[in-house]
A and B are shown apart, each in its own frame.
Chain A
Amino acid sequence: MSYDVHIWLNAAAFVGAGLSMGLGAIGAGIGEGFTAACATSAISRNPEASGEIFKTMLVGQAIAETAGIFGLVIAMMLLFIENPNPSFIRVAVFIGAGLCMGFGAIGSGVGGGFPAGEACTGIARQPAMTKRLNTTMLVGSSICQTPSIFALVTALILLFSDFSAHPLFPTWAAVLGAGLACGIAAIGPGLGDGLVAGACCSAVARQPLAATAATTTMLLGMAVTETTAIYGLLVSFILIFKTFPATNALAPAMALLGAGLCMGIGAIGPGIGEGLTARSAVGQVGKNQDNSAELVRVMLVGQAVSESTGIYSLVIALVLIFVV
């Protein structure tokens, strides 16, 4: 068994690249498949609009692809990265960055497919609204990509930070935890945002008069859904930028790794739940915009309660980092 640092760095970079591209391909694949399925049934329903539907499908799939391309970029960087000052911390950095981008691309990829699919279905139903549907789809699926952009930013910061002055124990756990916190936390909000944006495209096609009210509700609902991804970003920034004292014990390292896992996994549920709530609210605003004030109020209350477990996770993660 060899302990040469260069061999371990190469091995870790290759594992990280595999994780980044492999996990990163899941979301975009499912999302774009959903879009294509919707486009196919839309064309069968209204073959005369096939040109517009085909165009919208391609544009929507291109946006859903972004998350997958981020995964490819990080994988390429890991394959060809230089190691100016090799240390064993970089082993954890490479695997952390790969996990971060890989998990981070799942939610946004799947989510980005929903608005594109619903826009295709909507064009078949209401060809006169093609322009408005395209705009709503572009806005909605771009916002869906934000969690994956958070993951990209975290992965890039991990790769380009200089950790050589930090002690190996427990910094290795901090960088691995940072990648997991931001990456896994992006899954739920990305998926939830997609549900909301999809409902908005469907509402615009069903009831063009309510388009403005539905879009406003969509933006508000997506913003609240996004919060747990921001908690994940916050925890991973703390783990990256805080300097932890050197220690030989295992417990401090496991506390940092536990903090990352806690925030990452804890953000999945609230992200999906808040997305489900906002999806129904947007759908009902589309049906009858006179009720929109009441619906937005109930939506925000429901989302706030659903958020609570995400806040518990944030609290436990911060306690693990700062208190114990």
Chain B
Amino acid sequence: MAIEGADIIKAAAFLGAGISMGIGAIGPGVGEGMAAAKACEAIGKNPKEAGLLTRTMLVGQAVSESTGIYSLVIALLLLFVV
């Protein structure tokens, strides 16, 4: 079995893409879940402000999502560009 340099680089890029997206998904997943949990608690205490609370939750989650999207971008770059 002959392994060439270009093959090793491609193999590393594929493995790197998987690891990037996999580990990158942990933080946003847990963080967004915490934001949603606090939103549920707040709505339980003050149901009248449900609209405002849902909006705040979604904006906060969108910001928290950004690192997950960075991981996705890096994974796609590793797969198709590098």
Task: Determine the chain A residues whose CB is within 8 A of the CB of B14 once the complex forms.
Answer: 251, 254-255, 258, 320, 324
Known: A253-B11, A261-B18. A269 touches B40 (CB 8 A): no
Interface residues on B, range: 35 or more
Mask of A303-316 contacts with B, CB within 8 angstroms, 1/0: 10111111011011
Taking the closest CB of chain B, its distance from the CB of A3, in whole angstroms, is 14
Q: Tell whether, in the assembled complex, residue A272 and residue B29 are in contact, meaning their CB atoms are under 8 Å apart.
A: yes
Q: Tell whether, in the assembled complex, residue B34 and residue A269 are in contact, meaning their CB atoms are under 8 Å apart.
A: no
Task: Determine the chain A residues whose CB is within 8 A of the CB of B2 once the complex forms.
Answer: 248
Known: A291-B43, A313-B21. A250 touches B7 (CB 8 A): yes
Known: A295-B44, A305-B61. A273 touches B18 (CB 8 A): no
Q: Tell whether, in the assembled complex, residue B32 and residue A262 are in contact, meaning their CB atoms are under 8 Å apart.
A: no
A164 at the interface (CB under 8 A from B): no
Mask of A263-300 contacts with B, CB within 8 angstroms, 1/0: 11111111111111101110111011001001100110
Q: Tell whether, in the assembled complex, residue B31 and residue A273 are in contact, meaning their CB atoms are under 8 Å apart.
A: yes
Q: Taking beta carbons and an 8 Å cutoff, which residues of B are in contact with A? A: 1-3, 7-8, 10-12, 14-19, 21-41, 43-45, 47, 50, 53-54, 57-58, 61-62, 65, 68-69, 71-72, 75-76, 79-80
Identify 18 new A-B residue pairs, CB closer than 8 A, beyond the known A250-B3, A261-B15, A283-B44.
Answer: A251-B7, A258-B14, A261-B19, A262-B19, A270-B29, A273-B29, A284-B43, A288-B44, A291-B47, A294-B50, A298-B54, A302-B36, A302-B61, A305-B61, A306-B36, A309-B24, A309-B25, A312-B68
Q: Taking beta carbons and an 8 Å cutoff, which residues of A are in contact with B? A: 169, 188, 192, 248-251, 253-255, 257-277, 279-281, 283-285, 287-288, 291, 294-295, 298-299, 301-303, 305-310, 312-313, 315-317, 319-320, 323-324
